[in-house]
Chain A
């Protein structure tokens, strides 16, 4: 078999995974139902593992497939499936184009670092939190970068393009009202992206081989894998070409040694070898592979960074009000999305990939800071200031790859009570201003919050049994700075009663005269 074909296959597969995952995150117009792309997430190692540990389902056995593949062919996961890996390759590619010649050298493994991170994460997993994975899972990290950097970028480009096209009378796009990125998530994403960028720029896959815990784990397995790349002592010319091309830095051409625990099975070396110096097959090809079009990223990056900053600024807009509300609306517990069952199982499974944040159509799901405690930083929470949970939507539970948000059908979701609306009478416009308002009841999908007449005005009343905690009332409540109605999260999700709506009983005689 032509070994350089392996590399082509790897590139195609990796781009397929990369673009599918990215599309899931960046589908700002909701072009494709998120569930169509879910199979792509099936193979993501950590989400699949966590989902398996929680659900024991056949639907979450992707990580077993990854382990088997690694045992057979080495770390193909790292080279083809992992979106962060592909991102690193793409970033690296940008540099390669500039300088024409790729130069990597064999480096010694940073075993202390990589194995201590791995041990630390296994330790935290055993102790019941996934604190480590929130910061180190490669798929989730790619998600965080995409959600906090690329998505706002795409939206700002879309909005800019749209405003210009509209001036020309072209209504091809629609502007997207974006509530901005949570500060913590943005900082984390930027720092992470800088680290990835710097490491990939200078050392290729150094990140994957010294920081990424999935890389380290799969490396341990690939040491003993069935098929290995090794140097053919007889035909090798010691030219060092493969070493220069090895982005993992695992080929020591002088000693004719390959550290297969760090080899990510990118198959670039086959392509570079002028002879058949690398074992397996003897045929080689020097054909250049078509380069994927990735050149516009520089411009996009620079444009985006300050637009992100600007979006954060937008939130500080002044609001005028007659009498400010005085009582604090601080919550004891924040709600977790429907389908997460209880806060404990949610936080022990979520790796903060922010896919739910990305697909959430109302932008109610936002990365947390300390809402769920330090150990669950960046885990998404229901931020009712940014939006409210759409009654007819269960998109987050459709896409969640880790099982933190379990699948729900829509009828069930409509009865899941993730929190209960609490009314603060002394903040309410109706009581403080003595004027009608009713924004909360207007938005309530179940009429758990409804208006009852009192002294010529209508005042809000909450029927807790049928409240599902969607947060529409809190989002709509116009009082500042404190809301007059807020949702107190349920640590354990409950089932709400179905709203009982009596049929309107009134006979209409269509031949009757008008009442005026």
Chain B
């Protein structure tokens, strides 16, 4: 349910509950709501009530963006360099970051910061890669760059130990928590088969550009976690996904908002015991990276890189069937770079 004006009129109570508003005030609003304009005019904006009203009035709709038409390539695969060097090269194949980020736009970068482990354990995205992407965004004229994840372990420890918080802040990005329900807004997922609605982090809804930066890992249940699985970190209630056919829900959610760019970090790859891993013994150094505007294609290529047929991964197959992207890599124009 979207918390816009109409819905607030019909059911302010529900709307407020969704947004963590203290119940005591709800009753008060029901009476006052019809006089909202006077209420605001009276200059009580600073008061509790008005602050809450305003927050609900931020009607937000997912922004549908077109992939730049003049792209020579659908996908770039690169290997043999450091994460930041590979990204520099790979993004050139797409004509640079300015193809995706226009001046004064806001960008949200969603790396995987799910676990409270250090970068060498590769349970999280490589901080160097995140930092480099941020720099490219600012070079392209981005106004704000935000970084967040709804972590599994305690968020502040994840942010710190993954090295991403420091790297992102040094690069000038704003690091936001994804572990506070107050940031999440309920949205409808029209094409969803099992997942009909989800609470999505407001940064995803508000930002102009969405860059998904997953890390390639083995995964106990989803088999692999790449781009689409990484999107679980932008919703609040993941338990629902797990209860209601995980693979289908992952594919369903992809239909809601496809990232403008997916950068798969495969520098260090967790080959076993994913997604958290137990020690560095789980890690294989593959020094690779895959970039695509098509999240399904990126996942399929990363799966092949890992050594798994993408057809065997439930959510990749389902997403392809739902025509959310292309799993068959032979249909795509791919730039393969070996440094």
Contacts and interface: CB of A to CB of B under 8 A. Distances in A.
A447 B156 CA distance: 23
B182 interface: yes
B88 to A, nearest CB: 18
B22 A306 contact: yes
For A171, A392, A479, the residue with the greatest tally of chain B CB atoms inside 10 Å of its CB is: A392
A489 interface: no
B283 to A, nearest CB: 7
A390 B181 contact: no
A429 B242 contact: yes
Given A177-B179, A436-B314, A458-B221, A361 B278 contact: no
A437 B238 CA distance: 11
Contacts of A439: 221, 238-239, 242
Interface size class of B (residues with CB under 8 A): 35 or more
27 contacts: A163-B55, A167-B51, A167-B55, A177-B180, A310-B22, A319-B237, A321-B243, A322-B243, A361-B157, A390-B157, A433-B243, A435-B246, A438-B220, A439-B221, A439-B239, A439-B242, A442-B220, A443-B152, A447-B278, A450-B220, A476-B152, A476-B239, A501-B278, A506-B271, A510-B79, A515-B305, A516-B329
Interface string B127-143: 00000000000000000
A437 B241 CA distance: 8
B32 interface: no
B242 to A, nearest CB: 4
A361 B79 CA distance: 39
B104 interface: no
A476 B153 CA distance: 11
A501 B248 CA distance: 32
Given A391-B116, A438-B220, A458-B221, A445 B276 contact: yes
B264 to A, nearest CB: 13
B189 interface: no
Given A322-B243, A458-B220, 15 more contacts: A164-B51, A174-B177, A306-B22, A319-B237, A319-B240, A361-B157, A435-B248, A438-B219, A438-B220, A441-B221, A445-B276, A451-B220, A510-B79, A513-B336, A515-B304
Contacts of A451: 220-221
Contacts of B219: 438, 442
For A176, A499, A508, the residue with the greatest tally of chain B CB atoms inside 10 Å of its CB is: A508
A508 B285 contact: yes
Interface string B3-44: 000000000000000001011100000000000000000000
Interface in B228-254: 237-240, 242-248
Contacts of A476: 152, 239
A165 to B, nearest CB: 11
Interface in B260-278: 271-273, 275-276, 278
B177 A175 contact: yes
A511 B339 CA distance: 8
B221 A445 contact: no
Contacts of B183: 175
Contacts of A499: 278-279
A181 to B, nearest CB: 16
A502 interface: yes
A503 B22 CA distance: 52
B282 interface: yes
Interface in A285-319: 306-307, 310, 313-314, 319
A176 B180 contact: yes
B154 interface: yes
A310 B23 contact: yes
For B243, B283, B284, the residue with the greatest tally of chain A CB atoms inside 10 Å of its CB is: B243
Interface of A is mostly: loop
A306 B24 contact: yes
Given A392-B116, A516-B304, A361 B248 contact: no
B23 A429 contact: no
For A393, A451, A514, the residue with the greatest tally of chain B CB atoms inside 10 Å of its CB is: A514
A175 B301 CA distance: 38
A516 B331 CA distance: 11
A450 B272 CA distance: 11
Interface string A161-181: 001100100010011110000
A67 to B, nearest CB: 40
B221 A438 contact: yes
A455 interface: no
A458 B176 CA distance: 34
Contact of A478 (B80, B182, B239, B304): B239
B171 interface: no
A320 interface: yes
A56 B336 CA distance: 68
B164 interface: no
Contacts of B113: none
A508 B287 CA distance: 9
A160 B22 CA distance: 10
A360 B254 CA distance: 36
Interface in A424-444: 429, 433, 435-439, 441-444
A446 B278 contact: yes
A442 B281 contact: no
A127 interface: no
A501 B242 contact: no
A510 B305 CA distance: 12
B279 A436 contact: no
A175 B174 CA distance: 15
Contacts of A506: 271, 284
B77 to A, nearest CB: 5
B329 to A, nearest CB: 5
A152 to B, nearest CB: 13
Contacts of B20: 314
Nearest to B81: A510
Given A175-B180, A390-B154, A514-B305, A504 B281 contact: yes
For A175, A433, A480, the residue with the greatest tally of chain B CB atoms inside 10 Å of its CB is: A175
A446 B276 CA distance: 9
A159 B243 contact: no
Contacts of A510: 79-80, 287, 338
Contacts of B69: none
Across the A-B interface, give the 5 residue pairs with the lowest CB-CB distance, nearest first: A438-B221, A478-B239, A441-B220, A175-B180, A435-B245
A361 B276 contact: no
B91 interface: no
